[in-house]
Amino acid sequence: MIHTTQITNVALRSKLPVSALAFCVGLLSVYGPLPAFAVQSGQTQRIAAVVNDEAITWKDVDERTSLLLLTSRLPDNQETRQRIIPRVIQVLVNERLKMQQIKKAGIDVEPADIANAKRQIERNNGFPTGALDDLLRHQGLAPHILETQLRADIGWVRYAQSTLRRQVSVEPAEVDAVISTMKDNLGRPQRLLAEIVLPVTDPAEERQMRALADRLVDQIRQGAPFASLARQFSASVTAAVGGDLGWISTGALEPEIERVLDTMSPGMLSQPVRTTGGYAIMLLREAREPRKQSADDIRVQLSQIFMPLSGPAAVPEAKRAEIARSVRDSAKSCADIDATAGQLNLPGSGAIGSMRLADLPPPVRAVVRDLPLNTLGGPVEVAGGEAIVMVCDRQDTAGLPPREEIEQRLTLEKLERVSNRALRDLRRSALIDIRR
């Protein structure tokens, strides 16, 4: 089985290294209603669909279906093919639309980009260089089948970077709201979850997506790897990591999903859950009670006036007392401490960043543990001298991700929505003919 990784870190950096990319069928795809198809022998050169005068043949459909079956470990039989061929056609239609837009935007995907992406897939699977092509050929698949998809996916990422990224912004208040919610959830039990999300964007898709969801549940219960199917079928950004949601506090998901999870035990797989956006398949891996925070997990951001006791910059005792009095009279904030540090020109003085209480020297920890913000503490003896310290900020929410990580996650989620909308707009304006 080939383990693949979806291209999802779209435009989070000024340049996204192609070596970090791999592939997933249907990246950021938007699916529309389609009739059921079956590829019959002798019709592989017939046209299955036309997208703005570009043809998709049944040979294209058959080859991509075989690739999907290989990477997802679904059984390769007529029943499975009939169920997934409509989805494969949608993927190929979206792929043509992407490539047309990529070409229009003047974006190039070089052979070296494709080679780098293939090497990343090989590294992710522990394959030696060149083994991916050998495996595809062994399964009767030409390497160009995968390369065509990689070209569209890499190009679409670059299009998102160069064009769509400017439509995305994350305000500080949005990050604050997420942090507030995380704080509220810290005391709740948590579940280790994975998901497969199948969107329903049109009522006519309902039966098709429900049938696909039922089929995926059946295959997982028969032994197909959840992560592989999530990578290939899920429309969520979590598809990149096999559907892994991580540890989620109870009450944080949609009510429909929460009600189902409340009835499940670790190791259980849900039936398809109808949500506001489509269907979700949930895997409950583990459950745990809320983590009790130790006081030493608290992080404090400090500024200090450090007065050396020895060496060329040593400060005599009388001078240290004078500095302490002056600082106590004038410093009302960490900015004042930092300004005073610059005036005194004492090495080691000023902002010293954010640290866990547990990582501070015991004398300093004892002083700052309960010290109010913007209040001076000390002088306290530290290695090589004395320090007057001030707590600039205190974070008593151990276990929360850094603010920058939350902002990146929000950016990624917004960019996914913008990318989906852009693809929907391309579909609406395109001339698409799906043939029986």
The CATH number of the domain holding residue 81 is: 1.10.4030.10
In the predicted model, what is the mean pLDDT of residues 299-306?
88
Say whether pLDDT at 25 is over 60: no
Among 39-43, 243-247, 323-327, 400-404, the least confident range:
39-43
What confidence tier does 43 reach under pLDDT thresholds 50, 70, 90? low
**Residue that wins the pLDDT comparison between 268 and 352:** 268
Domain of residue 388 covers 295-396
Task: Read off the pLDDT of each residue in 64-79 and give the average, rounded to a whole number.
Answer: 85
On whether both 308 and 389 belong to a single domain, the answer is: yes
Q: What is the CATH number of the domain that holds 326?
A: 3.10.50.40
pLDDT at residue 224 is higher than 50: yes
C-alpha–C-alpha distance, residues 380 and 399, integer Å: 30
Boundary (domain end) residue, out of 288, 322, 339 = 288
Task: Indicate whether 319 and 261 sit together in one domain.
Answer: no
Question: In the predicted model, is pLDDT for residue 38 greater than 50?
Answer: no
Q: At what angle do helices 78-104 and 58-72 cross, to 10 degrees?
A: 110
Is the domain of 69 the same as that of 126?
Answer: yes
Q: Do both 87 and 56 map to the same domain? A: yes
Residue 112 has pLDDT above 90, yes or no: yes
Binned at pLDDT 50, 70 and 90, residue 26 comes out as very low
**Of 265, 288, 311, at which residue does a domain stop?**
288
Based on the fold, state whether residues 327 and 266 are members of the same structural domain.
no
The number of CA neighbours under 13 Å toward the Cβ of 247 is 15
pLDDT of residue 48: 93
The angle subtended at Cα 47 by Cα 46 and Cα 49, nearest 5°, is 160
| 382 plus 424 within the same structural domain | no
How big is the CA angle at 142 (ends 137 and 148), to the nearest 5 degrees?
140
The answer as to whether 233 is a domain residue is yes
**Residue 201 domain-assigned (yes or no):** yes
Q: Out of 55-59, 214-218, 339-343, pick the least confident.
A: 339-343
A 10 A CB-CB count for 384 gives 15
Sign of CA dihedral 246, 250, 256, 257: positive
Q: What is the pLDDT of residue 72?
A: 78
Assigned domain for 38 exists? no
Q: What percent of the chain is predicted at pLDDT more than 90?
A: 32
For residue 263, the cross-strand partners are none
Residue type, 22: A
Residues 99 and 211 in one domain: no
pLDDT value at residue 70? 84
Average pLDDT over residues 423-436: 90
Please, which residues have CB within 8 angstroms of residue 317's CB and are 6 or more apart in sequence? none
pLDDT at 152: 93
Q: Provide Rg for the chain, Cα atoms.
A: 28
Whether residue 125 is found in the same domain as residue 226? no
CB 378 within 8 A of CB 317: no
Q: What is the mean pLDDT of the chain?
A: 83
Q: What is the mean pLDDT of residues 79-108?
A: 91
**Do 167 and 199 reside in the same domain of the chain?**
no
Determine if the peptide bond prior to 379 is cis (ω within 30°). yes
More confident residue, 360 or 106: 106
- Give the whole-angstrom CA distance, residue 225 versus residue 429: 38
Residue 14 lies in a domain: no
Best CA proximity match to 18, nearest among 129, 104, 119 = 119
What pLDDT sits at residue 292? 62
* Residue 374 within any structural domain of the chain: yes
Is the pLDDT at 41 greater than 60, yes or no? Answer: no
Q: How confident is the model at residue 285 (pLDDT cuts 50, 70, 90)?
A: very high
Number of domains in the chain: 3
- Is the pLDDT score of 37 beyond 70? no
Look at 401 and 233; give whichever has higher pLDDT: 233
Q: Is residue 429 scored above 90 in pLDDT?
A: yes
Q: What's the confidence (pLDDT) of residue 300? A: 87
> Does 4 map to a domain?
no
Task: Please compute the mean of the pLDDT values over residues 159-183 and round it to a whole number.
Answer: 89
Q: Is residue 272 part of a domain?
A: yes
At residue 395, does pLDDT exceed 80?
A: no
| 258 and 223 part of one domain | yes
- What pLDDT is attached to residue 16? 32
- In this structure, the answer to whether residues 181 and 192 fall within a common structural domain is no
The answer to whether residue 113 scores a pLDDT higher than 90 is yes
